[in-house]
Amino acid sequence: SAVISQKPSRDICQRGTSLTIQCQVDSQVTMMFWYRQQPGQSLTLIATANQGSEATYESGFVIDKFPISRPNLTFSTLTVSNMSPEDSSIYLCSVGTGQPFSGANVLTFGAGSRLTVL
Amino acid sequence: SQELEQSPQSLIVQEGKNLTINCTSSKTLYGLYWYKQKYGEGLIFLMMLQKGGEEKSHEKITAKLDEKKQQSSLHITASQPSHAGIYLCGAVFTVPSGGYQKVTFGTGTKLQVIP
């Protein structure tokens, strides 16, 4: 399965600022997924980043707040814009190789970026 | 109510004991993942199940998906301190297309194993 590196691993940010999280994969993947895990909560899918096209956002998430870039098949960024304390969460990127649930395909996650907004 | 419910929310067991974590869906699944989350390590893949009645094992962990594909269980035999962490089930409800899959995660079960 793919190996994912996320940066930063953690950060403390001021209200109103923006932060960009990077996700680097050691192999080429078609789709990358960005999740959010709020304190004490489970993971929620924010958006899907497909190389060469606009990201697809899930209900409740908008591009102005969470712009995503996907410049190539091994890299993506998620920006959390105009942050408020409610944005304090762990943000995780994940990738799947091949068709889901087929053969050895596994949905792999990065270690996450833990953001605290003051 | 939640689409996916996990129980129990937390569990403390003595080392060597067996335990079971349940994941119940309000509707039929296409497939299901089990992950373990440890602080600073992201999600560690354990199993994926897709067929009704399917059962998979890896080391001391067994996962099952019922015939109706609405309930899954994760069973740990002879628990060890290394099993401690948060266990998450993740369901895919719609047929994946072109590599896209939306995983809905359960609320998690926090497991502590006392030596």
Q: With CB atoms and an 8 Å threshold, state whether A42 touches B50.
A: no
Question: What are the structural domain ranges in chain A?
Answer: 4-117
For A45-97, what is each residue's pLDDT tens digit? 999 998 878 899 999 999 999 999 999 999 999 999 999 999 999 999 999 87
Q: Is the pLDDT of residue A13 over 80?
A: yes
Size of interface A-B (CB pairs under 8 A): 65
Q: With CB atoms and an 8 Å threshold, state whether A1 touches B48.
A: no
Q: With CB atoms and an 8 Å threshold, state whether B42 touches A45.
A: no
**B4 close to B89: Cβ distance less than 8 angstroms:** yes
Q: Is the pLDDT of residue A15 over 80?
A: yes
Residue A104 confidence class, pLDDT cut points 50, 70, 90: low
* Domains in chain B, CATH or no CATH each: 4-114 (2.60.40.10)
Nearest to B101 among A6, A9, A100 (CB): A100
Q: Domain spanning A4-117: which superfamily?
A: Immunoglobulins (2.60.40.10)
Beta bridge partners of A80: A19
For A19-39, what is each residue's pLDDT tens digit? 999 999 999 988 899 999 998
Nearest to A112 among B35, B42, B92 (CB): B42
Nearest to B42 among A56, A98, A111 (CB): A111
Q: Is the pLDDT of residue B1 over 60?
A: no
User: Cβ contacts (< 8 Å) between B50 and chain A: which residues?
Assistant: 101
- The confidence score (pLDDT) of residue B60 equals 95
Best residue of B29, B97, B103 to probe chain A, by most A CBs closer than 10 Å:
B103
- The confidence score (pLDDT) of residue A99 equals 72
Compute the Cα dihedral for B106, A40, B96, B48 and give only its sign. Answer: negative
- The confidence score (pLDDT) of residue A103 equals 65
- The confidence score (pLDDT) of residue B97 equals 78
Least reliable range by pLDDT among A57-71, B16-30, B42-56, B89-103: B89-103
Beta bridge partners of A44: A36
State the DSSP code for B81. G
User: Cβ contacts (< 8 Å) between A56 and chain B: which residues?
Assistant: 100
Residue A103 Cα distances to A60, A100, B23, B48, angstroms: 33, 9, 23, 10
